[in-house]
Each structure stands twice: as structure tokens, then as C-alpha cells.
Amino acid sequence: MLLKWPGCIYRWISEPFKRTIRSKLILIMLCISVIPIIVVTWLATENTRKVMEQEVIQSNLSKIAWSGEAVDKNFTQLNNMIYTILISPTLNEYTKEEDGSVSDQFTVQRNVINNITSIFYSGYNSLVEIQLYLKEKNKLFTINDMRDTIQSPVADTPIWRDIVEQQADYIIKDSDGSSANFNLIRSINRFENKDKLGSIRFEVKWKMMDNALGLLNSEQEAGVYIVNSGGKVMYQLKEGTMPATKDVDWSAQGTGYIRTSDHYIFYNYLEPWGLSVVKVLPVSYVMQSGSVIQTNGLIIGVLSALLSALIAAFVAYRVAGPIVRLARSMSGLNWLKGEGVPHSNREDEIGMLEKRFQTMSSRIREHIRNEYTINLERQTAQLKALQAQINPHFLQNTLQMIGSMAYSKKPSDIYSIIQSLSDMFRYTIRDPGELTTLAMEIKHLNNYMNIQQQRYADKLNYEVEIPPLWEDILVPKLSLHPLVENAFMHGFDRKKGVWNLSLRLVPYQNGLLIQVEDNGMGISPDRLEEVRARLAEPLDPYWTSGNSIGLYNVSARIKLYFGEKYGVIINNQPDGGARVSMYIPIVKVGEQHEY
């Protein structure tokens, strides 16, 4: 069942374009005008979107390069401050001097403290604490805004262990005290052989990077981060969660970007420090920059397509209109009734076709009218001749029956038969119209059956089932009598026993079936096919030879008056006998039937 749906939908869509050239022309014009506009609009908006996307990408790459330079300068500044301490004469004097008197040691250590303190206060806004550890001296100098101390730790300090364990000259790691700070640890090396003498630690506020990172924070949706080479977020400019970036190599050189399904990730790797400045921007924001232009382009494209469609439909309608009118005039032309083809004032090829068709149709109409008039006069004469006569055998048998009744029946019975015969003559010889009512036909048939019932009183049963509702419908004159007469001539002529004959009316396909059923001998299959084939023949000839109106004549007149779909239908009954039906439309007195 489901497999039929695509075919049904295809036929439903394609059927209008098969029936008329106007629909085909409109479709072609729409395709020619609308499709290019849609394609051009789509390409233009797509190119615009891509240009805007590239502009956003290039802008952020430039910004992250500038921001990386600014962050690098901040780290370079911190590194310079460390070098200032490391190359200071006081520290060199202290590291090279042998242990002397307590006063001498105190003086040198105080000089180191003063030097570190001056550096601390020069970067007071960014620095939280400075620690200096000398392994050989086993001294730990600590300077912050609360105190400055000199200690001799029992075990190695953490800043020394980190340097030794990682075998690094510098380390940047999170502060143990606060996530808002980080530790910059650098080793103190002997110049001659690079032996590690100790280490120095700056605890720095991440806030010092805000100005540098602020260059990247122009979009509210953006996330700005500093990430180490392992992908760990060291600092973020504002609250948020950095998307998963497990496939990103944070040790990659230089500036670049990566696009995931939901984000653009811009990065700038700061090689000396092992850190990357990262900006995460949602794809939706990048697309949003081109979506307005894309939306406006689509609106303009849709409006242009609609305007083009209207113009194309109007042009196609104007071009195909005359062709459609000519085709309708040709298909709706009635050669016997109605008006001719309207006169055309066009000067083009369509006008020439209309004028030629008008001339041709007028000539054909005139020829048909002449032929129709001749045939009609001939047929009218034949019908009147047939109306003027009654089957001679029937008349002879009726007169003999009347003569016999004169000896054995009452005068009233004889009068009834004579009255029925008189009414039959009167009905057939008077000048009627082509059609009459069903009631008049039944009355004429009852006169005929009154005579037949008197003749075959001992074995004929006759029944009529016609509702009064249908008695005023129109039927061809002298159409029921031949159907009943056919039963006596071909059904009952060799039938023994009781003869049953019925007349009934049945609604059928927006029309009526007037059925005459008998229990006679029926019709052989070969003869039935022959009769059906002859009943299905065209209306020529209308009239049959012989001295009575036969089934073919009745069928031909029904087709002539009401159309080819109507006529006489003949069948054998399952229980024996035949059923002859007259199929007619429902047309009552005062109505007209168009076909």
C-alpha cells in the first residue's frame, strides 16, 4: 500500500502539466526566472557569509597575536626583574664570600634583602612575594608586604625540589596560596659550569595580564585563557568553562585556530614560557556576523523570486491564453448546437489559426446541418410510417379474438378490448413530439397488455412496479412497447407453462433502468453477443427494416436524444428468461438534458 503513494503523489503533481500547455509554459517560465535568482542569491549570501567569517577569523588572529606579544612582554619584564636580582653585586659577593664573622655575614645578607626588597616594591602592584634560596649557603630569603626573613631550612625547599626534579631552568606553576596568583621559578646557575646554585621564586598576580588579555575580550560570548603546554588552564579572564580540547597540541609553534563543532579556538603559543594565550569563540557568534547579511540577502532573493514568478506567470498566461482559448473552443464545439467560434482580432499566428478554424468550423457546421436536416426528414417520415401501423399478426390475432368473444363474452369485455385497440391506434397515429412521459408510455403498454391478457388469460401474469415519483420523466415515444413485444416474439413463442412478465424501475448510475423481465426461453450465448454488439454500434443507421419498431431502433433513439452512454441493455437471467433494460437519464418535463 505504501509503495503506491509515491506514484499517486507524482501523478497528482504532474497531471495538471500534462493537460494544458499553459501550465507547462508557466512552469518553464518560473524555472527560467526563479531558479537563477535563487542560485545567485544563495551563492551571494554564502560568499558574503564566508567573507564575514574570514574577517572575524583574521581579526581574532591579529588580536591574539597582539595579546600574545603583550603577555610575553609582561613575562619578559618579570624575567628582567629576576635577572636584576641574580646579577646584582651584592648577591655575587654573598655567593662567593666565605663564611666570615657574624657581623660581616649579617651585613651581606642585609644587602641582599635590601636589593630584593627594592625589586619587590618596584613591582608591588603585580608581585605578592619573592623567595631566594641558595643551596650552598642553605639560606632562604623571603620578602613580601608583611615581612622579610632569612631562614636556614632543615630540608630542601619546594622551589629547589621543583627545579631539581624537572631539570628545568624555569617553571611556571599555580600558586599554593591562591588561584589568582602563579609562581615563576627560575634556577640560579654558576656561570662557568652551569651548576645550579639555588633558585628564585616570584609569586605574581595573574591580574597583571588582564590588560594584555583584555584585547581579546571584545565579545561578551568569548572566553580568554592562559594554558600550559599540557592543556591545563592556568588563568581565565572571566568565569566560564573552557571546552574540551584534547586533540589540540598546545606546544604548536606560532598563532593559529582550530574549529570544533561548536567553537572556534584561537591560540598563540609563547615559546619561551611554555604557555599559550587562548580565545574560545562560539561558532554561532562567528556565524551571527554574516547571518544578518545572509538573512537580508535571502529576503531580497525571495522577494525577487516572487516578483519574477508573478511576471513569469503573467507572461505565460498572456502567451498561452489564446492557445488555451482556441483549444477549449475546439473541444467544446458542438456541431449541432451552440454558437460558433468567437471572432478573433489578433494579427499573429494564433489569430491566423483562430480565423482558419472559424472558417473551417462554419463550413463543417453548415454541411452537418444540411445532412442532419435531410436525415431528420427521412427518419421522421419513417417514424410516422411505423407509428401508423401495428404489427399485422397482432392485429389479425386481435380481430379474430374479438370475433370469438362475440359468441362467448359479455359486451363489456368486448368493448374493453376494442377500446384498448382504439387507444393504441390513437397513440401511434397522432403527431407527437420526439419524447413523451413514462406515464403515457405505460398507459399505451397497458392497452397492449390488456389485449394480450385477454388472449392468454390462462397462462400470462403481468406486473408493473413503477413508483408514481418517476411517471413524469421523459422517454422516447414507443420505447416500452417494443421491449415487451420482444418478450412475446422471442421469449414466450416456445415457452410452455405460465408466462411471467414484469416491468419495474431501478435507479442506476445517476440514471434509471426500466427493466422488462420474462421467464421465457432466454437467449443463446452466441445470439446474445451478436445482439449486444449490434446495440453498441454507432447511431448509423438509426432505423431498422421490417414492419415494427425493434430493440435497435429504441436503443438508437435513446442514444440520439440522451447520449452514447445510454441505450438498451440485454441479459439472461440466472433462473431463466431474459431481462431487457432501457437505461435513460433522469429528465423530467420542462427540463433539458445536455450531453
In this structure, what C-alpha cell is assigned to residue 138?
A: 642553605
SS3 559: helix
Same domain flag for 364 and 396: no
CATH number where 257 lies: 3.40.1840
Task: Please give the DSSP secondary-structure letter assigned to residue 489.
Answer: I
At residue 11, the pLDDT reads 66
Q: What angle do CA 369, 371, 372 make, to 5 degrees?
A: 60
SS3 396: helix
Q: Could you tell me if 494 and 577 are in contact, meaning their C-beta atoms sit under 8 angstroms apart? A: no
Same domain flag for 371 and 403: no
**Has residue 295 got a pLDDT over 80?**
no
Task: Please give the DSSP secondary-structure letter assigned to residue 139.
Answer: E
Give Dmax over CA atoms of the chain in angstroms. Answer: 185
At residue 73, the pLDDT reads 92
At residue 386, the pLDDT reads 54
pLDDT in tens, 68-95: 899 999 999 999 998 888 888 888 878 7
> In b/e form, how buried is each residue of 248-285, taking b as 16+ CB within 10 angstroms?
bebeeeebeeeeeeebbbbbbbeeebbbbbbbbbbeee
pLDDT in tens, 106-154: 888 888 888 888 888 888 888 999 989 888 888 889 998 888 888 888 7
Same domain flag for 547 and 425: yes
Given its phi and psi angles, is residue 231 left (phi above 0), alpha (psi -120 to 50 degrees) or beta? left
At residue 246, the pLDDT reads 66
Same domain flag for 459 and 581: yes
Unique residue bearing C-alpha cell 666565605: 98
Burial of 23 (0-12, 13-18, 19+ CB in 10 A): middle
**Has residue 281 got a pLDDT over 80?**
yes
Q: Which residue in 231, 232, 181 sits closest to 207, CA to CA?
A: 181
Confidence of residue 513 (pLDDT cuts 50, 70, 90): very high
Same domain flag for 476 and 415: yes
Give one DSSP letter per residue of 58-97, joined into a string.
HHHHHHHHHHHHHHHHHHHHHHHHHHHHHT-HHHHHHHHS
CB atoms within 10 A of CB 207: 12
d(CA 141, CA 126): 19
Same domain flag for 345 and 451: no
**Has residue 559 got a pLDDT over 60?**
yes
Residue type, 20: T
At residue 488, the pLDDT reads 85
Point out the least confidently predicted range of 35-39, 201-205, 330-334: 330-334
- Residue 180 domain-assigned? no
- Residue 206 domain-assigned? no
- Residue 460 domain-assigned? yes
**Has residue 290 got a pLDDT over 70?**
no
Q: Percentage of the chain surpassing pLDDT 90?
A: 5
Pick the last residue of a domain from 228, 252, 287. Answer: 287
d(CA 348, CA 526): 59
Pick the last residue of a domain from 375, 396, 426. Answer: 375
At residue 342, the pLDDT reads 59
In this structure, what C-alpha cell is assigned to residue 574?
A: 440466472
At residue 546, the pLDDT reads 45
Same domain flag for 458 and 530: yes
SS3 377: helix
Pick the last residue of a domain from 287, 305, 322. Answer: 287
The answer, as to whether pTM is greater than 0.85, is no
CATH number where 471 lies: 3.30.565.10
H/E stretch holding 502 reads: strand 499-508
Average pLDDT, the chain: 79
Total structural domains within the chain: 3
**Has residue 543 got a pLDDT over 50?**
no
**Has residue 474 got a pLDDT over 50?**
yes
Same domain flag for 573 and 488: yes
**Has residue 542 got a pLDDT over 60?**
no
d(CA 159, CA 157): 6
Point out the least confidently predicted range of 350-364, 465-479, 564-578: 350-364
How far from 534 is each of 362, 550, 552, 577, 582, CA to CA, in Å?
Answer: 33, 12, 7, 20, 15
At residue 548, the pLDDT reads 46
Q: Percentage of the chain surpassing pLDDT 70?
A: 78
**Could you tell me where the DSSP H helices lie in 388-437?**
392-408, 411-429
SS3 275: strand
Point out the least confidently predicted range of 217-221, 229-233, 381-385: 381-385
Give 25 or 52, the one with higher predicted confidence: 52
Positive or negative CA dihedral for 511, 514, 520, 522? negative
- Residue 7 domain-assigned? no
Rg of the chain, C-alpha, whole Å: 58
Give 209 or 99, the one with higher predicted confidence: 209
**Has residue 547 got a pLDDT over 50?**
no
Same domain flag for 343 and 464: no
- Residue 130 domain-assigned? no
pLDDT in tens, 319-331: 666 776 777 776 6
At residue 247, the pLDDT reads 64
**Has residue 96 got a pLDDT over 80?**
no
- Residue 573 domain-assigned? yes
Same domain flag for 576 and 531: yes
- Residue 228 domain-assigned? yes
pLDDT in tens, 383-423: 555 554 456 667 767 777 777 777 777 888 788 888 888 88
Same domain flag for 345 and 403: no
> Distance between alpha carbon 51 and the CA centroid of its chain, in Å?
33
- Residue 459 domain-assigned? yes
At residue 369, the pLDDT reads 67
Give the 3-state secondary structure of 149-178. EEECCCCCCHHHHHHHHHCCCEEEEECCCC
Structural domain that includes position 343: 333-375
Q: Could you tell me if 165 and 233 are in contact, meaning their C-beta atoms sit under 8 angstroms apart? A: no
At residue 339, the pLDDT reads 55
Same domain flag for 359 and 421: no
Residues in the chain: 595
